[in-house]
Amino acid sequence: MNVSIDTSYKSLNKHHEELCGDKVELLKTADSHILILSDGMGSGVKANILATLTSKILGTMFLNGASIDECVETIVKTLPVCQERQIAYSTFSILQIFHNGEGYLVEFDNPSCVFIREGQLLKIPYAERTIEHKTVREYRFKVQLNDCFILLSDGVIHAGVGQVLNFGWTWESMAEYALKTVKSTLSASRLATTLIKACKDLYNDIPGDDTTVAVARVIETKVINLFTGPPANKKDDARLVRDFMEVPAKRIICGGTSANIAARVLNTKIKTSLIYTDPSLPPVATMDGIELVTEGVLTLSRALALMKYYVEGEINEVFFDELDKENGGSMIAKQIIEDCSILNLFVGKAVNEAHQNPGLPFNLSIRMNLVEQIKEAALKMGKEVHIKFY
């Protein structure tokens, strides 16, 4: 299967708590993606420590090939049990999707995963097993392109209890809402953001519990080739453009000189858009075989700012409104964030005098710095990144 896994998660802290008692781990092995959601008992620091320990132990053991029996046994023996209530320290869900299309899910005391396939809620049979006196549910299945899996902590189905809704947002109503949202949503990040916003609204902005939604979508592997900067040696122009055009991909060129090199080598014309949607950025253009042509450093800086915010910031609808804007920076960031599994960067090392900062070593241009930071941000999103310098 030529598929990738698009993952994202969003959490709300319980009202007045600085730390979230839910923890999500996203892991990759040579042949699979793993998504772990653990929910520590109670809230605040104690719950955060319990959830973090659980997810880290599970993640480390899973990566080292341990069975679910060994994982549960270790968790049971490692983490404390609540003295008053004699109940579990932390609940968890683990979803593993293999590159060969096999899927595996195990759940311990978390709400059931929401499976969506071809616009329908799917019921997947599971086996119940008892490990160390704990009952776990295990699912084994084959995944298909466009499948969507949503893991939840119990804060999701408690949303609105005694406020907007008498008994909270039931699993069924949440699943129905997720189903509607999946039909109109591109990426895992938009879906997670939409679902967590619904929870926040149901809690009237005062979450009564730590609340987490973790989403995994099975998507086609999508490649983006981005070319920026003329080669250090003019003789390499044709080689760079040939490499850039060789792999089937969506293609983006950033920089006027780079665009002129491509137009000359490919014997084609640059078609500039006359729509100025953002006065602070030059308009975009296209070229035969190239999806997007933009100005260089200013546009890349804007794209990088959005990518960094996506990795580190508080993502909400305002962020996605910014991402949907028709300017070069937003368009590049949106493609990389939402429509890319593999990012290939083709970077020319010719130094543009305008991009030299007198305070930096002579060979460190602003463009090189930007490329390095774009690579780092893309790696943090789980993208595969390759850079070729010329």
- Tell me which of 202, 220, 238 is where a domain ends: 220
More confident residue, 41 or 300: 300
- Tell me which of 197, 220, 243 is where a domain ends: 220
SS3 314: coil
Shared domain check, 336 and 319: yes
As a whole number of angstroms, the distance between CA 267 and CA 7 comes to 40
| pLDDT tens-digit map of 183-233 | 776 689 899 999 999 999 999 989 999 999 999 999 988 999 999 999 999
Shared domain check, 214 and 157: yes
Shared domain check, 164 and 237: no
Shared domain check, 250 and 215: no
Shared domain check, 245 and 156: no
As a whole number of angstroms, the distance between CA 279 and CA 340 comes to 28
Between helix 171-183 and helix 188-202 the angle, nearest 10°, is: 140
Query: Could you tell me the pTM of the whole model?
Result: 0.86
Shared domain check, 274 and 253: yes
Shared domain check, 182 and 120: yes
Shared domain check, 228 and 216: no
Tokens of 130: 């008892």
Shared domain check, 271 and 210: no
Which run of H or E residues covers position 231?
none
Question: Is-contact 373 304, C-beta < 8 A?
Answer: yes
DSSP string, 142-182: E--TT-EEEEE-HHHHTTTBTTTBSS-S-HHHHHHHHHHHH
The reported pLDDT for the residue numbered 356 is 52
Question: Is-contact 22 11, C-beta < 8 A?
Answer: yes
Shared domain check, 181 and 328: no
The count of structural domains within the chain is 2
- Tell me which of 220, 236, 261 is where a domain ends: 220
Q: Give the end-to-end CA distance of the chain in Å, rounded to a whole number.
A: 33
CATH number of the domain at 134, please. 3.60.40.10
pLDDT band of residue 65 (cuts 50, 70, 90) is confident
Question: Is-contact 331 273, C-beta < 8 A?
Answer: no
Amino acid at 314: E
| pLDDT tens-digit map of 238-288 | 999 999 999 899 999 999 999 999 999 999 999 988 777 788 888 999 999
Shared domain check, 325 and 231: yes
Shared domain check, 134 and 92: yes
As a whole number of angstroms, the distance between CA 214 and CA 191 comes to 9
Look up the domain containing 315 and give its range: 223-389
- Average pLDDT of the chain? 88
Tokens of 353: 């005098």
Tokens of 247: 């792999």
